[in-house]
Amino acid sequence: MAGTRNPHSAGRPRSAEKEAAILSAALGLLASQGYTRMSLGQVAATAGVSTSTIHLRWKTKADLVTAALASARMADAPPASGDLRTDLIAILVDFSATIERVNGMALIGTCLAEEAHTPELLALLRQRTVLPRRALLREALERARAAGEFEAEDLEPLVSALLGPFYADYMAGRSGDPGWAARAVDLVLAGLRGLPEGPGIAYS
């Protein structure tokens, strides 16, 4: 009868809400369970859908997980202030907040563990999260270099030096200190500008 079409009948557009729930559940389980132990059944239960709903969209677990990683785009960059130190700290603080929000260290570990068997996982993680964040730091450094604040041909070692303390502290069980970003930036800028270390600059 006209006007009484079942909203769940064939031909109904896919639910964006369901798809988002599935991708979010897949990311969470990837971080907490690891790729090998997570199952499509777990994803379905967490997302509140059936496994057939998942199979309508993705044929295999690898398809789903790569789609989930592809959906995990980095948030918009913090607005540039024009001050190098302020901009670098803002980028690093946003970076650590993002890592903590999505259980990023566990995701990194899972993708590294799967590199030999499912290399596309690590490739997508790099493409969607690691490289864009490095690009933000490099762009801030490029603006300051163009303004004559310092001279350096290769900016990549500086980018690595800025991000490195976060990973090193995590591995040493020292993560969670809100002052890490400022100390990392001050240490790099002290070396970059040839300044002696002083109070608030030394990274310990």
pLDDT in tens, 70-128: 887 766 778 889 899 999 999 999 999 888 887 889 989 999 999 999 899 899 888 88
pTM reported for the whole predicted model: 0.78
| Summary mean pLDDT of the chain | 85
Give pLDDT, residue 75: 67
Percentage with pLDDT > 70 across the chain:
87
pLDDT of residue 42: 96
Which pLDDT score is estimated for 104? 86
**CA pseudo-torsion sign 100, 106, 112, 116:** negative
DSSP 83: -
What integer pLDDT is reported at residue 14 of this predicted model?
Answer: 64
Q: What's the confidence (pLDDT) of residue 55?
A: 94
User: What domains can be seen in the chain, in order of their start residue?
Assistant: 16-71 (1.10.10.60), 84-192 (1.10.357.10)
pLDDT of residue 77: 76
Check: CB of residue 29 under 8 Å from CB of residue 42: yes
The pLDDT of 176-198, averaged and rounded, is 81
Q: Is residue 60 within 8 Å of 40, Cβ to Cβ?
A: no
Residue 121, CB-side half-sphere exposure with 13 Å CA sphere:
24
**Residue 35: in which H helix or E strand, if any?**
none
Alpha-carbon torsion angle 153, 157, 162, 167, nearest 10: 170
Cα separation of 11 and 47, whole Å? 22
Mean pLDDT of 62-75: 84
